[in-house]
């Protein structure tokens, strides 16, 4: 995607970024034939428009950005990969954010080509001066990893295949892995993971990865790995089930974050936990109003079998807390309520630590990886009350679904340094830097957070 050789950079076609404020000045610096062509084309610097300047000594591209100092989307330069013909290009001047502009260019070029021939248009960008190419490539590779995992359908991305992806990543970085499968989950006290996944033909499992010096601060990542979600006996309608191959998006984004951490060799002791299951229907499926005792010892009544992600995360989070990590992060595609509240592009996150929340918000803004804090509103805790168990896995009403899920998980997490992300992991329609399909959410912001802390 990025070229760094002197010859390729010298031969790259220039891209001039213009805004309504800079259009005239930028054009005035071009040669007369280029200015004449721009005038004849009637080009107006409206955001997202482009003009190819052909067949002249300054052959290149004009691309219009939003005016003002704070653009709505610093990824707008990513549109160029769709608009431009094959070739090598360079930024002749800087967009609003040079690093994010280059990142968006690369992220927009992603194609999922496992099952059919992908677009073969070769479009490359000369690495802008002053930008860390290794860091940029690391991020692009991590995002592509998450997208590939999420886009792969469940017949090729079940619990076993998700395990294989995690093991392959671990081998690449010299990490160790341990996997607990099937009935071993009961022997080793992971009853909620077993209950959710036992009905599927592919047995459930808990995947564990460890990397780094144990003397360094302990950071644990937990990712929801529901490889397909029928909803269980509280079955989803066909429209709700259609995209459930992405229900392992939390696991995919955790693996993307783990790749960046390990490749950068951050000074942390990293632990990754992925409960991987399919929420299927068979004679052995868990049922509404069943009661299971969790790893923590709390009994949980099943108010709805379609609220399965929080169940498998509960056992994994309990295991994580047994080592008292310095920072605990979990991610999962958990509630439709989060999408109703904030839409597909803006995942909510939860924490009790105001300073940590401010760090996350700062990193999310800097990385254009949008996140928004919602409250762990404990006045809603009573909505999880059960008459027969310590708690229910859902509330008795339709209000505050994402907050209720966070409060449920919080029952299993005594640590204050805890971050919970209710992600969507999908882009419904293509945007600059974000092709339609599986999406890596929150990982880039969290990588920036971890780099700032432990880099």
Assign 57 a pLDDT band (cuts: 50, 70, 90).
Answer: low
Assign 42 a pLDDT band (cuts: 50, 70, 90).
Answer: very high
Question: 110 and 161 share a domain?
Answer: no
Q: How far apart are the first and last CA of the chain?
A: 26
Question: 232 and 310 share a domain?
Answer: yes
In this prediction, residue 415 carries a pLDDT of 72
Tokens at residue 135, please? 């860091």
Question: 126 and 79 share a domain?
Answer: yes
Question: 152 and 107 share a domain?
Answer: no
pLDDT digits 0-9 by tens, 58-88: 679 999 999 988 889 999 999 999 999 999 9
| Domain stop point among 131, 148, 170 | 131
Question: 159 and 289 share a domain?
Answer: yes
pLDDT digits 0-9 by tens, 183-229: 999 999 999 999 999 999 999 999 999 999 999 999 999 999 999 99
Decide: pTM greater than 0.95. Answer: yes
pLDDT digits 0-9 by tens, 422-453: 999 999 999 999 999 999 999 999 999 999 99
Strand order in the sheet with 291-293: 291-293, 299-301, 391-392
Question: 213 and 125 share a domain?
Answer: no
Backbone angles phi, psi at 246, to 5 degrees: -85, 5
411 is catalytic: no
| Domain stop point among 116, 131, 146 | 131
- Determine how many CB atoms are found less than 10 A away from the CB of residue 289: 11
In sequence order, the 6+-apart residues with CB closer than 8 A to the CB of 128 are 90, 91, 94, 98, 99, 102
In this prediction, residue 184 carries a pLDDT of 98
Q: What DSSP character marks residue 128?
A: P
In sequence order, the 6+-apart residues with CB closer than 8 A to the CB of 136 are 2, 99, 102, 103, 106, 127
Question: 153 and 51 share a domain?
Answer: no
What is the average pLDDT across 242-264?
98
pLDDT digits 0-9 by tens, 327-385: 999 999 999 999 999 999 999 999 999 999 999 999 999 999 999 999 999 999 999 99
In this prediction, residue 120 carries a pLDDT of 73
Residue 295 has pLDDT above 90, yes or no: yes
CATH number of the domain encompassing residue 75: 3.40.220.10
Domain count, the chain: 2
Question: 276 and 411 share a domain?
Answer: yes
Question: 91 and 154 share a domain?
Answer: no
In this prediction, residue 386 carries a pLDDT of 98
Name the residue range of residue 32's domain. Answer: 2-131
210 or 116, which is more confident = 210
Question: 235 and 297 share a domain?
Answer: yes
236, 264, 362, 453: the catalytic one is 236
453 is catalytic: no
CA distance 327 to 415: 8
218, 224, 246, 310: the catalytic one is 310
What is the average pLDDT across 19-25?
96
| Domain stop point among 94, 113, 131 | 131
CA distance 204 to 188: 13
């Amino acid at each position: 995607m990025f070229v760094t050789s002197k010859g390729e950079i010298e031969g790259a076609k220039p891209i001039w970024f213009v805004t309504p404020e800079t259009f005239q000045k930028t054009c005035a610096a071009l040669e007369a034939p280029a200015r004449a062509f721009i005038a004849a084309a009637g080009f107006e610097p409206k955001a997202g428009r482009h003009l190819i300047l052909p067949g002249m000594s300054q052959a290149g591209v004009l691309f219009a950005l939003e005016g003002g100092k704070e653009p709505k989307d610093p990824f707008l330069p990513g549109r160029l990969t769709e608009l431009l013909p094959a070739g090598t290009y360079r930024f002749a001047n800087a967009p609003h954010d040079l690093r994010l502009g280059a990142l968006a260019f690369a992220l927009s070029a992603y194609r999922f080509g496992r099952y059919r021939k992908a677009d073969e248009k070769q479009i490359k960008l000369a690495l802008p001066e002053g930008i860390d190419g290794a860091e940029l490539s690391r991020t692009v590779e991590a995002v592509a990893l998450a997208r590939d995992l999420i886009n792969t359908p469940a017949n090729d991305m079940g619990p076993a295949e998700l395990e294989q992806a995690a093991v392959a990543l671990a081998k690449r970085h010299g990490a160790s892995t341990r996997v607990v499968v099937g009935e071993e989950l009961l022997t080793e006290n992971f009853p909620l993971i077993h209950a959710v996944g036992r009905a599927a033909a592919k047995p459930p499992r808990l995947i564990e990865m460890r990397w780094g010096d144990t003397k360094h601060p302990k950071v644990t990542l937990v990712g929801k790995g529901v490889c397909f979600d029928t909803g269980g006996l509280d079955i989803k309608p066909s429209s709700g089930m259609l995209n459930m191959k992405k229900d392992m998006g939390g696991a995919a984004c955790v693996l993307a974050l783990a790749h960046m951490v390990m490749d950068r060799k951050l000074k942390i002791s990293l632990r990754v936990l992925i409960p991987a299951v399919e929420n299927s229907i068979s004679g052995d499926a868990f049922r509404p109003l069943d009661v299971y005792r969790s790893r923590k010892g709390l009994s949980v009544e099943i108010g709805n079998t379609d609220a399965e992600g929080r169940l498998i995360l509960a056992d994994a989070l309990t295991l994580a807390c047994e080592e008292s990590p310095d920072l605990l992060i979990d991610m999962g595609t958990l509630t439709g309520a989060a999408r109703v509240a904030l839409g597909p592009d803006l995942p909510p996150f939860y924490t009790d630590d105001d300073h940590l929340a401010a760090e996350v918000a700062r990193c999310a803004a800097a990385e254009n990886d949008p996140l928004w804090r919602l409250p762990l509103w404990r006045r809603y805790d009573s909505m999880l009350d059960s008459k027969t168990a310590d708690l229910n896995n859902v509330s008795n009403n339709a209000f505050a679904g994402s907050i209720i899920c966070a409060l449920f998980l919080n029952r299993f997490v005594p640590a204050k340094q805890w971050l919970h992300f209710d992600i969507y992991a999908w882009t419904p329609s293509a945007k600059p830097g974000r092709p339609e399909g599986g999406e890596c959410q929150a990982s880039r912001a969290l990588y920036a957070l971890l780099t700032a802390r432990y880099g």
